[in-house]
Chain A
Amino acid sequence: QQPVQSPQAVILREGEDAVINCSSSKALYSVHWYRQKHGEAPVFLMILLKGGEQKGHEKISASFNEKKQQSSLYLTASQLSYSGTYFCGTGAAGNKLTFGGGTRVLVKP
């Protein structure tokens, strides 16, 4: 079942913060976050495996709630390079990922 991402799109000024949410109706094995630039392949950001886990990658961090049904990606002090579409991928049995609908992020100068 496809996870639900929100918002669908967000426009930021450089230096502003944003939060992207990813939720599922059932507990997840893992959550993966990727960023895709237009016309390019997705690039891995991070994986969260444990309930309550938090991770960071430069000024981008993510959390996985205790029940493992919701994850949030935090863009802090956004840079122009953060523009792109962010996808969460949720893990289930079978070693495959199901991706959310994506959140388009545009960072303006």
Chain B
Amino acid sequence: GAVVSQHPSRVICKSGTSVKIECRSLDFQATTMFWYRQFPKQSLMLMATSNEGSKATYEQGVEKDKFLINHASLTLSTLTVTSAHPEDSSFYICSARERVYLARENTGELFFGEGSRLTVL
């Protein structure tokens, strides 16, 4: 199956700093990538949909100025947590669908990255 790589897998930072998380589709083109956030023992909450070459679409309640998303190419999307605070500590997971499924919404499986565990001290 397709491979999505996420980096870094773990990051610890001081409060007030910014952290960038990368999500790469290694063997396919991903027009759309999704960023999820997961708290311990909870579900995956969609934060935003990242579209190559255009602005990300954020879910209600997600601060777009705090969680900056850039989808510069068909294989790379980045999430930057700006001015991180302890409450931003969480497991962030990206996912992607192959471009071939674009014409049929929601009929392709999502390939997930390994996740990035952010701890803000």
Q: Give the interface of A toward B (CB within 8 A).
A: 2, 29-30, 32, 34, 40-44, 47, 49, 87, 89, 91-102, 104
Contact = CB atoms under 8 A, between A and B. Distances in A.
Contact of B106 (A29, A40, A102): A29
A92 B49 CA distance: 14
Contact of A97 (B46, B113, B115): B46
B32 to A, nearest CB: 6
Interface string B1-20: 10000100000000000000
20 contacts: A2-B43, A32-B106, A32-B109, A32-B110, A41-B112, A42-B44, A43-B112, A47-B107, A47-B108, A89-B110, A91-B106, A93-B105, A94-B105, A95-B102, A98-B46, A99-B36, A99-B45, A101-B42, A101-B43, A102-B43
B43 A95 contact: no
Contacts, number: 68
A104 B41 CA distance: 9
Contacts of A94: 49, 57, 105
Interface of B: 1, 6, 32, 34, 36, 41-46, 49, 57, 93, 97, 102, 105-115
B50 to A, nearest CB: 11
B49 A96 contact: yes
